[in-house]
Structure 1
Amino acid sequence: MIAIIDYGMGNLHSVSKAIERLGYEVITTDQPDQILSADAVILPGVGAFGDAMHNLNETGLGDVAKQYAASGKPMLGICLGMQLLFEQSEEYGLHQGLGLLQGKVVKFQGDFKIPHMGWNKLTFLQSSPLFSSLEEGHVYFVHSYHALVDNKQNLLATGDYYGPVTAIVANENVYGMQFHPEKSGELGMELLRNFLALSARSLPV
């Protein structure tokens, strides 16, 4: 079973449908027992970092997410969900994140269009089970803030938007994708498939 954490902010339906298309049983839930018993967990997110952390803290789901990460089972943050994995964000003030990855989230600075919205090519920086049998290609980004990763061993892939942009991160069993894999065509779906394969419990298609 794959669990999508429902804390009131996120593109839950499209992520759920993508997981179903890949042949996995999925549940969208705010129940700690369902989350902690899942074979893999996805933390989605659309909106502001501070609002998301408020919801996670008020519901206790932030602590549940950290408990799940400590279990060693695979966990994936998508878009804002990836940013929440970091220690802090400067979006509309300074806010503390889940602290599962070292680094901070900052706003794009420069004379170019913000938000970063559209298709950008990934550059794979190191080997990862996420990249098994895949070639670099384009994925779909929508964001005004980006993550600065302290430990470069945690940076698996970048995009390019007037310079390198953190695109995929990992810290042991905890992964993050700044783009939307469920909206990123074949490459996005294959990246999602490779993540879900870490749970090793798919249903027949």
Structure 2
Amino acid sequence: MTPVVTVLDYGFGNVRSAVRALEHVGARVTLTADREIAENADGLVVPGVGAFEAVMGGLRSVRGDQIVGRRLSGGRPVLGICVGLQVMFERGVEHGVEAEGLDQWPGTVELLQAPVVPNMGWAPVDVPEGSTLFDGVEDERFYFVHSYGVREFPLGTTEDTGRFAAPLVTWSEAGPEGHSDRFVAAVENGPLTATQFHPEKSGEAGLHLLKNWVESL
């Protein structure tokens, strides 16, 4: 049976590219902000482009915070992309402005400490053992474009979160060797999955990753 995926349409995200990529890997995709459709789809994708605070405002305007929370409380899959990963954390700090996130994970989104920002282009990732999201593309490069990220994620080193299985955290680095800054590139945590990079812009590797997620629904 073809998985039904909703891409949440709240005004912030590379939605058309995400829809096309998901359709390409076999999902039946709806682009909408309708709460009932978003809550009942097999999978929900939360894209995000722009400033943390503005993205959170857009999400709240369509009750996206409630949609995500309700889905996760019922164990229903959610995939965040780019700022869609960042808002899953506790808070974001951009240009001195602190904003609350969805608080699914503890941690702060902050400016990358790399020689050049934004961090833009293709980069390898350090995938943990047991990843299903990266199955078959562990050694591939993915496309990043961001100035902010999560540089510390203590939850990713714990044995058990008490809510889901311990999260699997994939890392990457911004900047040249010797002057780079490590940040969270992806998280797999029960029904909640998120990537800092754009799988829909990451060629065959990104499509393979999206297919892994769609086939898990």
- TM-score, normalised via structure 2 length: 0.87
Matched, 1:57 2:60: yes
Moved runs in structure 1, 4+ residues, more than 6 A?
Answer: none
2:128 maps to what in 1? 125
Q: CA deviation at 1:128?
A: 1.8
Contact 1:101 1:171 in 2 (8 A): no
Q: CA deviation at 1:188?
A: 1.1
Supply the distance in 2 between the matched residues of 1:65 and 1:151 (Cα, whole angstroms). Answer: 20
2:112 maps to what in 1? 108
Contact 2:48 2:84 in 1 (8 A): yes
Contact 2:91 2:103 in 1 (8 A): yes
Counterpart mapping for 1:46-195 below 5 A = 46-92=49-95, 93-110=97-114, 112-147=115-150, 148-153=152-157, 154-161=167-174, 162-195=180-213
Moved more, 159-168 or 149-158: 149-158
Supply the distance in 1 between the matched residues of 2:184 and 2:66 (Cα, whole angstroms). Answer: 25
Contact 2:26 2:211 in 1 (8 A): no
Contact 2:133 2:188 in 1 (8 A): no
Contact 2:125 2:140 in 1 (8 A): yes
- Quickly say closer, same or farther: Cα 1:163–1:32, change in 2 above 3 A: same
Q: CA deviation at 1:55?
A: 1.7
Q: CA deviation at 1:187?
A: 1.3
Paired amino acid for 1:23? G
Moved more, 25-34 or 61-70: 61-70
1:198 maps to what in 2? 216
Contact 1:3 1:38 in 2 (8 A): yes
% same residue:
34
Paired amino acid for 1:194? N
Matched, 1:29 2:32: yes
Unaligned runs of 5+ in 2: 158-166, 175-179
Moved more, 76-85 or 125-134: 125-134
Supply the distance in 1 between the matched residues of 2:70 and 2:39 (Cα, whole angstroms). Answer: 8
Q: CA deviation at 1:156?
A: 2.3
Q: CA deviation at 1:155?
A: 4.5
Supply the distance in 2 between the matched residues of 1:97 and 1:166 (Cα, whole angstroms). Answer: 16
Moved more, 80-89 or 165-174: 165-174
